[in-house]
Amino acid sequence: MQLLEGKIALITGGSRGIGEAIVRKFAAHGATVAFTYVSEGSAARAQQLAAELGPNAKAYRSDAGDYAQAEALINEVVKDFGRLDVLINNAGITRDTLMLRMSEQQWDEVIQTNLKSVFNLTKHALKPMLRSGGCIINMSSVVGVFGQAGQANYAASKAGIHGFTKSIAKEYGTRGVRCNAIAPGFIATEMTAVLDEKTKEGYLSAIPLKRLGSGDDVANACVFLASEMGGYITGQVLSVCGGLNV
């Protein structure tokens, strides 16, 4: 059953990790998928993914944290596909360190990529969405719910997404635009693969389901929220964390 047949979706940071899983899952459910990558090193991987998925997928090089690039991206996607039904603000980075060691640059980079990008893309995506409705999904983290030592910048960016999401839901619900956030827990990706075994074991001991999440676990939640099955849900933060935040 294809839950997203005919939908036009844009996923930022879609060339790897959770973003790639969402791109693949949306394509499998019948959506036309536009997705972004930011570095030259990701270009070949992104183009390979687009080629693998066929004519209903296209990769764009764009920095979500840059206001002008975000505007140009939205305009290009609408020009290429006619409209925009779903936006998933997935682009994100970490610059982990304790507060006394954290530089201004480390703070600013995380806030710009993780939080300002959500403002950038949402602001520009609302214009085409207000014509026919739409769905915005912002990728947060359980760290934005309960905090984490060594991640004050990351936690602040993700907690900011929660307030932003609820505000957009209230502003534009009457215009047919839904806005929700997903807060993944400990998901097995390239970003988490570098953690040592002791750290991983510590997380596993705190997860009631006793396993790491997968990109597909998060992607499935995105499909649900973007489809008609999630049509009466807006302004919510859905934790996909195996019970980690209980």
Annotated catalytic sites, by residue? 154
For 147: left if phi > 0, alpha if psi spans -120 to 50, otherwise beta; the answer is left
Specify whether the CB–CB gap between 185 and 242 falls below 8 A: yes
Specify whether the CB–CB gap between 127 and 169 falls below 8 A: no
Count of H helices and E strands in the chain? 10, 7
CA distance 150 to 148: 6
Specify whether the CB–CB gap between 137 and 169 falls below 8 A: no
The conformation of residue 137, written as its DSSP 8-state character, comes to E
HSE value, Cβ hemisphere, 13 Å, CA-based, for 167: 9
The conformation of residue 156, written as its DSSP 8-state character, comes to H
Closest CA to 184 of 157, 214, 225: 214
Question: Residue 132 carries which side chain, given as an amino acid letter?
Answer: S
Using alpha carbons only, give the angle 42, 55, 217 rounded to the nearest 5 degrees: 60
